[in-house]
Amino acid sequence: MRIIAGKYRGRALAEFKGEAVRPTSDRVKESLFQILSPKLVGARALDLFCGSGALGLECLSRGAKEVLFNDISAESLAILRKNLEKLGERGQITNRDFRACLNSAEGKFDLIFSDPPYKEDYLPDICAIIEKRRLLKEGGLLIHESEREEVAPEGFECSDVRRYGRTKIWFLRYKA
């Protein structure tokens, strides 16, 4: 696993041992960030299920101003901290359930990354809290990674879906 582009291009990241965690593949990450490229410089992002931090770190490498990293797993956050240290970067880190993170997040975000365990159906809860708290800036996106077919929850519309084998990336925004 590595940083694809930006000031840390090519830098290897610490990653998990074993099969318990499923990081976003470099191929999917490269395609995703090509799409998001115009939104990254100066952006404020939330990496809700951050794992090793690969998505948020890619944002920082490409010019994001700030990233809030969250994960419920202490092991994930230990790897994230190694990766932040390796790159000489800082990020706000929280160790909370995604609901608690969203309910306590301050300010608005340009991008919210949601890459939960594939077996979980968290999208309706995530969208409900984001909409209730108005956590996305105008024009902001919720980027949700899943294997399942999803339907945009109440208050959101799907602006794009990209498929990479079994993986699907959903680009959701507030309904106009």
**Domains plus CATH for the chain?**
26-174 (3.40.50.150)
pTM, two decimal places = 0.94
Beta strands in 71-152 (DSSP E): 92-94, 109-114, 136-146
Q: Across-strand partners of 167? A: 164
pLDDT computed for residue 80 by the predictor: 96
Nearest to 46 by CA among 56, 60, 31: 56
Give the C-alpha separation, 51 to 111, whole Å.
Answer: 17
Question: To the nearest whole percent, how much of the chain has pLDDT over 90?
Answer: 79
pLDDT computed for residue 120 by the predictor: 85
Q: Read off the pLDDT band of 113 (50, 70, 90).
A: very high
Mean pLDDT of 70-95: 95
